[in-house]
Amino acid sequence: STAYDVGSSTNIKWHEGAVPTENKEAIMQQKGCVVWFTGLSGSGKSTVACTLEHALAESGKVTALLDGDNIRHGLNSNLGFSATDREENIRRIGEVSKLFADTGIVTLVSFISPYRRDRDRVRSRVPEGRFIEVFMKVPISICEERDPKGLYKKARAGQLKGFTGIDDPYEEPLNAKVVLEAETADGKRISPQDQARTLLEYLHSKGFLT
Ligand code: PPS
């Protein structure tokens, strides 16, 4: 029998229910939260989320990254881009991010999440103050210029119907905790590294990285 063998131990007391979030947070020296990126396709959500995740890992923080690549190909592979599918997409992602956050993990979530109501619903499911909405405030002209997957071009040509920002709505957040822009007031480009740094400082200042 090993030191980990609880079966024969006399000092292990069995409890009902899960180990509290605070215990897990104490182990990881951080606070669970949902950093929710929202913005148009091509606004830089995934790039910044990924950069931030690496920066957090370097500071010894435990993270999870949810984005189209791991969710729309797996958990949500049965969903498309109709209004009801987008709503269900965001609802499931919200529930998964809540599970991670309740485990004390700094959870980075990167989806267009175009409808305000869906984002607000997720906010109401996550413990108070732990949902951090991050608005990638990038004009559609810049997103369209970047067009990394050529989807804006297709949408403009009428080959792709219901594309966000073209013929499907994007509802801007009204009070995001953090707003990240692509350019300064005097027209200088802001790098994803700088945007990630802004978020890192925010998380520090709010005590999520204890
Ligand atoms: S949503 O609205 O939050 O459910 O969308 P999301 O899961 O983030 O998926 C967005 C990516 O899917 C590609 N795509 C579309 N986006 C918007 N509208 C339509 N009709 C569409 N069809 C496919 C597109 O590549 C999005 O990419 P990024 O750049 O990652 O946001």
From first to last of the 210 residues of the chain, give the pLDDT tens digit.
456 666 666 677 777 888 999 999 999 999 999 999 999 999 999 999 999 999 999 999 999 999 998 999 999 999 999 999 999 999 999 999 999 999 999 999 999 999 999 999 999 999 999 999 999 999 999 999 999 999 999 999 999 999 999 999 999 999 999 999 999 999 999 999 999 999 999 999 999 999
Which phi and psi angles does 54 have, rounded to 5°? Answer: -65, -40
Contacts 24+ apart (CB under 8 A), 70-73: 71/96, 71/111
Cβ 162 under 6 angstroms from ligand 1: yes
Residue tagged active-site, from 113, 124, 191, 205: 113
Q: In what order do the strands lie in the sheet with 178-181?
A: 63-67, 106-110, 33-38, 131-137, 178-181
Q: Collect all residues with Cβ–Cβ distance below 8 Å to 141 and sequence separation of at least 6.
A: none
Which residue has the least CA distance to atom 20 on ligand 1? 163
pTM of the model: 0.94
Q: Which domains are delineated in the chain?
A: 21-137+171-205 (3.40.50.300)
Q: How many CB atoms lie within 10 A of CB 116?
A: 15
Q: What's the 112 CA to ligand 1 centre distance in angstroms? A: 6
Which residue has the least CA distance to atom 24 on ligand 1? 41
> Of 179, 70, 202, 92, nearest to 133 (Cα)?
179
Element (H, E) at 180: strand 178-181
Distance CA 204, CA 19 (A): 25
Cβ 192 under 6 angstroms from ligand 1: no
In the block, which residue shows the tokens 């606004």? 43
Cβ 152 under 6 angstroms from ligand 1: no
Q: Which of 73, 81, 110 to mutate to test the pocket of ligand 1 (most atoms within 8 A of CB)?
A: 81
Ligand 1 atom with the smallest distance to the CA of 71 is 7
Cβ 108 under 6 angstroms from ligand 1: no
Cβ 89 under 6 angstroms from ligand 1: yes
The greatest distance separating any two alpha carbons of the chain, rounded to the nearest whole angstrom, comes to 71
Q: How many CB atoms lie within 10 A of CB 84?
A: 9
> Of 181, 197, 204, 182, nearest to 54 (Cα)?
197
Distance CA 42, CA 165 (A): 11
Question: In this predicted structure, what is the pLDDT of residue 193?
Answer: 98
Beta strands in 32-175 (DSSP E): 33-38, 63-67, 106-110, 131-137
Cβ 98 under 6 angstroms from ligand 1: no
Question: In this predicted structure, what is the pLDDT of residue 65?
Answer: 98
**Does residue 146 contact residue 164 with C-beta atoms inside 8 Å?**
no
